[in-house]
Amino acid sequence: GRLEAVTQQMGYHPQYLDSFLKMQHYLMHMDGPLPFDCRHYIAIMAAARHQCRYLVNLHVLQFLRAGGDPQWLRGLEFIPPKLRNLNEINKILAHRPWLITKEHIEKLLKISEWSWSLAELVHAVVLLAHCHALASFVFGCGCEQDEGLGVRGSLKPLSLGNQCFCEATAGNSYSQELLCINRKRSLDSCMELDSLRERMQRIHVETEGRDEMRLLQQDREEGEGQGAEGGVQGGRLSLLADTDGVVTGATNLACYMQDPDFGYQDFARRDEDQTQVFRVQDYSWEDHGFSLVNRLYSDIGHLLDEKFRMVDGLQSSAMAKRQGCEPSVFKRGIWNYIHCMFGIRYDDYDYAEVNQLLERMLKVYIKTVTCYPEKTNSEMFDRFWKQFKHSEKVHVNLLILEARMQAELLYALQAITQYMI
């Protein structure tokens, strides 16, 4: 009866959780331009960029539940070219979103057998940004379930019959409605579980029958040390199972991404020619991004906007009081610092305030969780703000989640706008 970890952490701020659940449910499970299995596979691709096994495992299960082809789980080589073409924009959005141009958009939308429609691309971009930012929250709050990372409160991996966190109850109206829906679904959970086990067994037989002897021979040649490392190599399908034989996720995340060495680099200085500072006065979420995304993917703009506003409205008087400032000033300092790391600037803000408001340890934590969350560890979480409550630390991670997601969306939507012009 224990709540899933993301829901558990966001539950410290129930109003935000309700807003998050509504947007997540709409994005993954309601009518939209993309098929359901493709949505979960895109989520897998996005989470893999930050080596977030927690989200990859969750969406592997949801992908199978949506009727996805298990062959796709062998890696990018086994998916349709249309999905594989999304890899470049996924990579750039995750690590250096300021590099996205209208040429990237044009390449995906060009007329061909594997071209994307504008509506499909907007849906995919929102999915990518959502999962990148959620990976930051997962690592920042210690939800990552890989015990090898030494994170806090590792939970038992989800079984196939369990709820996805986007359908978990949180004691509010929308979540209670989802709970009722899931009670109906649970009637078929045993049959669904058996069906998925049968499908996974079939794909194991197909792949292992062809490859086992070849891999064993390679292992002998390469030595026992290499043969035991990291599960199945070469992008071949490999799923873990718990003691009940329930599939829990992929062991090799490298098969879901290309160019793994591509990562975050500090945004270039203003005087460097190759990179332009993104000025919110020229292109903002409120004046530009909201209307574009809502026009191409109905209602998602309203749900995103509600979530942005909700995190901005969370009570933070205790945090601000400890820092000796007003709550709005403190939250804006965190938000603008995150956007600054992605090259987004506000002309009406004095960035000297950031150093005054945010102590060094907090800045190190925010930058790590925002830019390379896979490097976050439990010690970092425990060391910053020792005098602050856990709920206040979760609040900071919610600000990171939303500020990062909005930053990625701004760059992608601006590029789409430039293409349309």
| Lookup: tokens for 178 | 């989802």
Torsion sign, CA atoms 14, 20, 25, 28? negative
Q: Read out DSSP for 81-113?
A: HHHHTTHHHHHHHHH-GGG--HHHHHHHHSSST
Match 């994005």 to its residue by tokens.
Answer: 27
Q: How far apart are CA 412 and CA 296, in angstroms?
A: 14
| Lookup: tokens for 62 | 């949801």
Q: How far apart are CA 147 and CA 144, in angstroms?
A: 8
Match 């601000």 to its residue by tokens.
Answer: 320
Q: Which helix (H) or strand (E) holds 239?
A: strand 239-241
| Annotated active-site residue in 52, 131, 166, 255 | 52
Residues forming a β-bridge with 345: 279
| Lookup: tokens for 49 | 């960029």
Number of helices (H), then strands (E), in the chain = 19, 4
| Lookup: tokens for 381 | 């979480």
Q: How far apart are CA 367 and CA 356, in angstroms?
A: 16
Q: Which helix (H) or strand (E) holds 278?
A: strand 278-279
Active site residue 52: yes
Q: Which helix (H) or strand (E) holds 241?
A: strand 239-241
Q: How far apart are CA 276 and CA 113, in angstroms?
A: 34
Give residues with Cβ within 8 angstroms of 342, minimum separation 6.
97, 98, 267, 278, 404, 407, 408, 411
- Residue 250 DSSP label: E
Report the interhelical angle of 53-65 vs 189-222 (nearest 10°): 130
Q: Greatest CA separation found in the chain? A: 66
Match 């034989």 to its residue by tokens.
Answer: 245
List residues with catalytic annotation: 52
